[in-house]
Structure 1
C-alpha cells in the first residue's frame, strides 16, 4: 500500500531530482573515473546501464569504525521551478539528471534528511544512522539542497522507470545502445539473430530515454519545457 505524503505546499515540490553533476567535492570513495565525468557523461552512462552506482554521502560513516564508509545512498533534491532557477543561477547546479515523484521515492524507503546541529548529527553517526542527516554549522551552505536520500546497502540500484529525464539542451541525445534486433546487412530485412549470415544488430536510444518524459530546463524562462515520451528521438 502506498502511503500518501499529503498535498505539497508552496515551499515544497512534488518532484525530486537526482542531479548527475554537483558543484562541490566528492567523497574519496567515489572512483576517479566517475568523478572526472561531466554531468552529461554521467547521465549518458546511467541511461545506458539502467542502474545507479551509489556511494555513502558525507557524514554517513560511524566515527568508531574508520574502515566503514557508511551507508550508500541515492541523493535527490526537492525542487520547484523557482528553486531550480536559484540552484542553477546562484548555486552552480547543472540541470542534468533524473526526476522522480516524492511518493515513489518514499515507497522505495527514501525520505527527507534532517539538517541538524553538530551534536545531534554526531549522535546519529554513532548510532549508524548518519546517512539520514546533514550537519549544520557556521558557514554551512547545504540546506539549499533540500535533500532526500534512498539507502541502497548493496551500492547499486536498477532503474525500472523514472518520472522524467532532465537535460539542459533539447538537442542533446544519449549514445545509442544495442536494440536486440538484427537485420541482413545488404537488404536491411529482419533476421532471427546474430548467427544469420551478414547479420547486423540495430541500435537505438536507451529504453529510459525512449519511454520517459524529457524535461528541458530553460534558464531564461526559469521553467521546464516538457516533452512526451518519444517526442525527442
Structure 2
C-alpha cells in the first residue's frame, strides 16, 4: 500500500482517525442484531481477533462504508466527554485511509446533498439541517465494496479500561497441555493443542487508555500491556 503525503496537519486537524466501536443514537437498518447488541468492548474484541473492519450503509447512503472521526486531542476529549462517544475503537492514519480509497466527507445543505445523491455519491456527503447536525463527527469514510476491510495494522487501540484485555486467539505454536512441552503441530496426542495468546493487532499497536479524570489518553508502547 503506497501512502501519499497529505501535508502537515494544523492544530485544528489531526492525523489520527478514530473508528469508534460504540455510538450514541440510532443505527442503520442493515446492521445485524448480533452486532448491534454487542457492547463497544465486544465489538473491539471481534475486530482485534479477526483484523477485520466491517462496513455498513451510513444513513442516507446505499454504499457500505467504514466510518472514522478525525480528532486532535482536545476534540477527542469533546467527543467522549461532551458528546457521549465510547472510548473504545481503533486509530488509523489519514494517509492509510486515503490510500485505500477513503477520504473526508462533505457536510452540505439538503439541496446540495440531493445533487450528490443524483450522482450516486451520497456516501461522500452528510446533509446538514435542524434534524441532521453531525459536524462534530468530522467524519471520514472508506467505501468497502465487499463489505469489509482487513487491517494490516493500526496506529493504536483505544480502550476505556486499563485492565481490559482482548480474548486470546490461537497461534501457530502447539503445546502438550499436560506436560507443557512444545510440539511442531498436531501429533495425535489428545492433549496437544494450539498455544493461545493476545491478538497480534493488540501486541503490535500502541494502546491508548482513556483517562476520564485527565480527559485525555495515556499512551502505552506496543507489547507493554499484557
Structure 1: state its 5+ residue gaps: 61-69
How far did residue 3 of structure 1 move? 2.5
Matched with 1:51 is: 52
Q: Contact (CA 8 Å) 2:81, 2:215: kept in 1 or not?
A: no
Note the residue ranges of structure 2 that are not aligned, 5 or more in a row. Answer: none
Q: Which moved more, 1:128-137 or 1:175-184?
A: 175-184
Take 1:119 and 1:141, find their aligned partners in 2: how far apart are those partners? 15
**Which segment is superposed worse, 43-52 or 137-146?**
137-146
Give aligned pairs, total.
Answer: 224
Q: Describe the superposition over 1:59-107 as per-residue Cα deviations: whole angstroms up to 9, x where unpaired.
A: 11xxxxxxxxx11111000111111111112111001000011111111
The CA distance in 2 between the partners of 1:185 and 1:104, in whole Å, is 41
Q: 2:157 aligns to what SS in structure 1?
A: strand
Alignment root-mean-square deviation, CA: 1.1
Given candidates 183, 193, 199, the residue that maps to 1:206 is 199
CA distance in 1 between counterparts of 2:79 and 2:21 reads 14
Superposition TM-score, scaled by structure 1 size: 0.93
Deviation of 1:2 (Å) = 3.3
Query: With structure 2 as the length reference, what TM-score do the two structures score?
Result: 0.96
Runs of 4+ in 1 over 6 A off after TM superposition: none
Q: Among 168, 171, 187, which residue is 1:195 paired with? A: 187
SS at match of 1:182: strand
Partner of 1:17: 18
Residue 186 (structure 1) shift: 2.4
Q: Which residue of 1 aligns with 2:98?
A: 106
Residue 53 of structure 1: how far off its partner (Å): 1.4
